[in-house]
Every structure is written in C-alpha cells, then in structure tokens.
C-alpha cells in the first residue's frame, strides 16, 4: 500500500487481519426518518445511550469523527455446533454465540489497531484512523450494508456471504474519500435485501416473543437479547418467563436463517463448545458467586453483563425449568440477596415454580 490508499488497497490490507472488509462512503441519503420513527415508538426500550446518540447514528456523516468514509471489517463468529441433547436439556441455560470464546471487543481491538497503524503509514497521516467495535455512535450494520458487505435481512441483521449473520463488526473512520469506493444506491440495496430474503420469513416465525414486529424492524422491548444483555433492573413480567433458557443473548432468529452455517472455512478458527460455559446447568449458573462468575467468564462478552444480570437471567430461566428440589434450593438461596433485583426475581421464580407453570417447557 503506497500513497492515499484506494478502496481496493484498504480492503486488501484489512483482509490480512479480518475475514471480510468493504468501504462505505459518507454520502447520503440517510435513514433519519426510520430512526426517528423507531425511537418515537419506544422500540429502543431502556437503552437511553442509544437515544442520546440518535442524531449521530442517523446521520453518521455529521459525527465528530470527520469521516469521509468508513472501512468496515468483519470477524467471523465460528462456533462448533452444540450437541442437541445438551442444548435442548431443559435443566440447562444457553449462552448466545456472540459470547463464546474471547470477547469480540478484545479479539478485534489488536488487529484493528495494527490495521489502523498500517493505514496511517500508507496514507501519511499524523495519527491512525479512529477505530470502533461497538465503541462509537456509528450505525455499524447500516454502514456494512452500504459498503456492500451484505444485505439487511428481515431479522435486522446484515447477511453476508462470509457466513450469513455470524460475524462481529468493527471499522475505521477514514479522513479521506478512497478512490474506487462504490456510491450507495438505496434502490440497489433494497433490491439486494428483497432478493436475499426472498419469500423466506423463518426469522420472524422463529422469534418466540414477536420482537421482529415488521420486516427489518425490531422492538427491543420484546427481544430476549435485549432482556438478557441490556435491560437494567428487573426484566419486564411479559418477558420474564419467556427467555427460553437464554442467559446471555438469543440466537433463535439467526439459527434458522438459511444463509448461516454455509461457509466451512474462514481465517478465524471455530470456538469449541464448552458445556460448562455455553450451556451450564441452571443450578450451577445460580451457584456462581461474583468471584467465580468473573473467573469463568472474565475474558468473554458474558462478563459485560455483570454478576447481577447473570443471576437475574438464570433465575428467570430456572423458573421455567423442571421444578425439582435442586432447582428450588438454587433459587431459594437468592431470596435474601443484598441485590434488590436478584431478590425480587428469586421471589418471582420461586412462586412460578410453586405454581407449576408450563408456559414455556422447552424449544425453540
Ligand atoms: S434475538 Fe431472539 S427474541 Fe430477539 S428478535 Fe431474535 S429471536 Fe426474537
Ligand atoms: S431467516 Fe430468511 S427472512 Fe430471515 S434474515 Fe434469514 S433469509 Fe432473511
């Protein structure tokens, strides 16, 4: 790479570190009206940080980054398929694949920094381009689709031919307009999305809580991933008994996508399934102390939940597990927790176990 790198140069450099890459120009039109309608409808739930940065996400060209373009990179999320007997065991919880292995923020940080430094040198910049992995108010998925990395599926995720939606995104804000970057055409993007999903609606059917309220529109208030990862405080009653044993995230609208699981090889190796980490017995999940939780999940994205949310989620999952003496005892020990959310959720879970509700017995 010499001189101000072109889009091709940038992608070539990025592929030395990542599984896929593409360049999006900071040109409109932007989807301000769609963002505004989404926020007005309250679909962002309690994610006030999203609302506070809404204008930057809706118009990333006006963001303080001074970006003329973005180099978007993807790291494949490769996981060994979990054994069905364990994955569907009603006594076990489930951790979504985004949180298997090393936390993707950490896994992407170093290669992104190396890439940024290589670009700094090649472009003659005084400082490396600013990088982000969920760390800047940038609409990463929208930029990835604009860059041509893939199309936006009905499940709201970008679907690539890398491996469907199984990947993590990051990027670099570029202070110049790389030659050869393709301009964004909304009609072409919409056509690609229509053609990509075709008549398939599996994700919308697979979502057990109706969170995909329209094609390509998520109501976070109904989403298990929001409830387990983002929701502060108690999980709303409407979702509490419907977590389908997910302890961190939810993969149901991805597991069913025909674009996922097609590609056998990527530069990122597969993460092996670990029953203790990825499908722990609920009684074991509830037995973790703050220290043992940190030891077990310290390097994974699960750690970002913190112990309180982990236990809260495990209590919700346990409430729909077979109500044997071990589960009851594991729930009961949190009744006198010093944490009010844990205490309240434990009480709710115990009442539910006592009532013997079978509203949610197993799959999906
Ligand atoms: S993550 Fe789960 S709850 Fe959320 S939209 Fe997808 S299937 Fe529905
Ligand atoms: S499951 Fe079907 S409708 Fe949903 S994103 Fe995948 S291809 Fe599109």
Predicted confidence (pLDDT) per residue in 276-324, tens digit: 999 999 999 999 999 999 999 999 999 999 999 999 999 999 999 998 9
Would the pLDDT of 260 be above 70?
Answer: yes
Q: Whose CA is nearest to atom 6 of ligand 1?
A: 253
User: Which of 196, 226, 247 delimits the end of a domain?
Assistant: 196
Catalytic residue annotation = 134
Shared-domain flag, residues 283 and 333 = yes
At residue 58, the pLDDT reads 83
Same domain, 243 and 175: no
Residue 224 CA to ligand 2 centre (angstroms): 18
Would residue 24 count as lying in a domain? yes
* Cβ proximity of 91 and 243 under 8 Å: no
Residue 287 lies in a domain: yes
Residue 1 has pLDDT above 70, yes or no: no
Q: How far apart are CA 260 and CA 146, in angstroms?
A: 20
**Residue 22 in this model has a pLDDT that exceeds 70:** yes
| Least confident range of 34-38, 229-233, 275-279, 359-363 | 359-363
DSSP-derived secondary structure letter, 227: I
Residue reference for tokens 């999980």? 235
Average pLDDT over the chain, rounded to an integer: 92
Confidence of residue 361 (pLDDT cuts 50, 70, 90): very low
Summarize the confidence of residues 156-172 as an average pLDDT.
93
Q: Ligand 2: which of 157, 193, 256, 257 to mutate, judged by most atoms within 8 Å of the beta carbon? A: 257
Answer yes or no: is pLDDT of 2 > 60.
no
Between these two residues, 63 and 265, which has the higher pLDDT value?
265
Q: At residue 220, does pLDDT exceed 90?
A: yes
Residue 360: band (very low, low, confident or very high) from pLDDT cuts 50, 70, 90: low
CA 225 to ligand 1: nearest atom: 1
Residue 1 lies in a domain: no
Q: Which two tokens stand for residue 203?
A: 């994700």
Let me know whether 177 and 216 are in one domain.
no
**363 domain residue, yes or no:** no
Last residue of a domain, one of 166, 196, 226: 196
Of 178, 196, 214, the one marking the end of a domain is: 196
**Is the residue at 139 inside a domain?**
yes
pLDDT at 269: 85
Q: Please tell me whether residues 129 and 257 are part of one structural domain.
A: no
For residue 360, is it within any domain? no
242 has a pLDDT exceeding 70: yes
Which ligand is closest to the CA of 160, given by its number?
2
Domain contains 130: yes
Q: Give the distance (Å) from ligand 2 centre to CA of residue 203.
A: 6
- Cβ distance 255 to 199 under 8 Å? no
- Ligand 1 atom 4: residue of nearest CA: 223
Atom of ligand 2 nearest to the CA of 206: 1
Query: 6 C-alpha vs ligand 1 centroid, how far in Å?
Result: 38
Residue 34, pLDDT > 50, answer yes
Phi/psi at 83 (5° precision): -60, 130
Average confidence (pLDDT) over 28-32: 85
Is residue 94 included in any domain, yes or no?
A: no
β strands within 100-225, DSSP E: 130-132, 150-152, 158-160, 167-174, 212-214, 217-218
Examine the pLDDT at 54 and tell me if it is beyond 90.
Answer: no
Same-domain status, 12 and 26: yes
Domain extent, residue 296, equals 202-355
For ligand 2, atom 5: residue with the closest CA: 153
pLDDT at residue number 268: 85
Number of compact structural domains in the chain: 2
Nearest CA owner, ligand 1 atom 8: 207
| Pair 217, 340 in one domain | yes
């Amino acid at each position: 790479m010499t001189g101000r790198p072109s889009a091709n140069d940038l992608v070539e450099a990025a592929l030395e570190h990542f599984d896929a890459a593409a360049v999006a120009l900071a040109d409109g039109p932007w989807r301000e009206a769609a963002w505004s309608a989404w926020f007005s409808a309250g679909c962002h739930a309690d994610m006030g940080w999203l609302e506070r940065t809404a204008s930057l996400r809706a118009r990333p060209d006006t963001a303080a980054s001074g970006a003329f373009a973005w180099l978007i990179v993807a790291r494949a999320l490769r996981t060994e398929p979990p054994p069905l007997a364990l994955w569907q065991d009603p006594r076990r919880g489930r951790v979504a694949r985004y949180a298997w292995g090393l936390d993707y923020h950490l896994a992407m940080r170093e290669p992104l920094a190396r890439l940024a430094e290589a670009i700094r040198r090649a472009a003659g910049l005084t400082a490396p381009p600013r990088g982000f992995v969920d760390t800047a108010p940038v609409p990463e998925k929208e930029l990835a689709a604009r860059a041509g990395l893939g199309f936006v599926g009905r499940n709201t995720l970008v679907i690539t031919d890398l491996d469907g939606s199984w990947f993590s995104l990051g990027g670099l804000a570029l202070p110049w307009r790389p030659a050869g970057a393709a301009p964004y055409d909304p009609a072409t993007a919409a056509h690609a999305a229509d053609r990509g999903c075709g008549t398939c609606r599996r994700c919308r059917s697979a979502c057990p809580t109706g969170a995909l309220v329209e094609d390509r529109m998520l109501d976070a208030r109904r989403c298990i991933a929001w409830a387990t990862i983002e929701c502060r405080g108690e999980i709303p009653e409407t979702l509490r008994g419907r977590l389908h044993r997910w302890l961190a995230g939810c993969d149901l609208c991805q597991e069913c996508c025909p674009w996922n699981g097609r590609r056998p090889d990527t530069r990122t190796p597969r993460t092996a399934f670990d029953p203790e980490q990825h499908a722990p017995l609920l009684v074991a999940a509830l037995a973790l102390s703050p220290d043992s939780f940190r030891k077990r999940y310290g390097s994974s994205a699960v750690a970002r939940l913190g112990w309180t949310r982990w236990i809260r989620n495990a209590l919700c999952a346990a409430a729909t597990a077979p109500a044997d003496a071990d589960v009851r005892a594991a729930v009961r020990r949190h009744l006198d927790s010093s944490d009010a959310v844990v205490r309240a959720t434990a009480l709710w879970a115990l009442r539910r176990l006592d009532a013997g509700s079978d509203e949610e017995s197993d799959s999906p």
